[in-house]
Amino acid sequence: MDSNIQNNTKLIKDKAKELGFISCGISKADFLEEEAPRLEKWLNQNLNGKMAYMERNFDKRLDPRLLVPDSKSVISLLFNYYTNKKQEDNQSPKVSTYAFGEDYHFVIKRKLKELMNYIKSEIGDVGGRVFVDSAPIMEKAWASKSGLGWIGKNTNLISKKTGSFFFIAEVIVDLELEYDSPTTDHCGSCTKCIDACPTEALIAPYQIDGSKCISYLTIELKDQIPNEFKDKMDNWAFGCDVCQTVCPWNRFANEHEEESFTPKEELLKMTKNEWSEITEEVFDKVFKNSAIKRTKFDGLKRNIKFLKS
């Protein structure tokens, strides 16, 4: 292999580590042949619920060269957000761990831009784009393809080293690099995630009905939550961590070291009463720069009301 390619690959991986990413893997930018029929079938079965955006940009979702012209490499990156900290009132509505600190879109985007600027300054005129949950990219598929983990029975990416409490991000560049190989599946005969899902959204190993997922119901769905989910929400008001919490591989999850993800004390200390009586003013103060803003005040109130009714 060309020594330039090897050097550039090392340069990028070293910088990614310096920026706090726990893993970096690289794949050839190409059409995702295996994923194409799976995605088509999933959409045809309406398992995306009302997430109409999943149906748009079908071709772009499967081919990064349509997102970034002349792209040659997809750099996949993982960023840890795991914390042992918990909400103090165990009767209060629950919030997914990833939303305890500053909105990850902002934090990780800053790091990706720094990585992209570094690539340009060290390697030269490299064209590319950075993504964190912000474009039609099959992030888990690319991360899996580049050896960062396997897509488990709960449909999340799982790593033997760190479990699954991490964000996935990409840098797609028109630069040829050294490509990594996929890893193998290590779910074995375990079905803990399927057995534990409160709404039975995991309809089979490696298959999720998005329209039943608590994360979908509390964040993506803009209508009323269907009555069939009464008493099945496990007290989740924003997102859900159940299929990750029960996964045996998450015994290897380590506390993150990102200051921006430090859990907001006000959030952790909120009591059941404070949640149910939350005002827009409190919402704006406690959840400033938080991913919880995605569901908006009215959405959060709807979720809390649904849990109480």
Contacts of 279 (CB under 8 A, 6+ apart): none
Six-digit token pair at 257? 């070291």
Contact 172, 75 (CB under 8 A): yes
* Crossing angle between the packed helical segments 3-18 and 104-123, to the nearest 10 degrees: 150
DSSP string, 170-185: EEEESS--PPP-----
CB 150 within 8 A of CB 184: yes
Q: Parallel, antiparallel, or unpaired: how do β-strands 202-204 and 207-208 relate?
A: antiparallel
Does residue 203 sit in helix, strand or coil?
A: strand
In sequence order, the 6+-apart residues with CB closer than 8 A to the CB of 248 are 190, 192
Q: Any residues with CB less than 8 A from the CB of 144 and at least 6 apart, and which?
A: 150, 151, 157, 182, 183
Catalytic entry in 63, 133, 185, 234: 133
Instruction: Give the integer Cα–Cα distance in Å for 50 and 37.
Output: 20
Q: How many CB atoms lie within 10 A of CB 118?
A: 17
Helix (H) or strand (E) holding 207: strand 207-208
- Asked if 133 is an active-site residue, the reply is yes
- Residues sharing a CB contact under 8 Å with residue 7, sequence separation 6 or more, in sequence order: none
User: Rounded to an integer, what distance in angstroms lies between the CA atom of residue 284 and that of residue 82?
Assistant: 24
* H/E run at residue 123: helix 104-123
Q: Which residues are catalytic?
A: 133
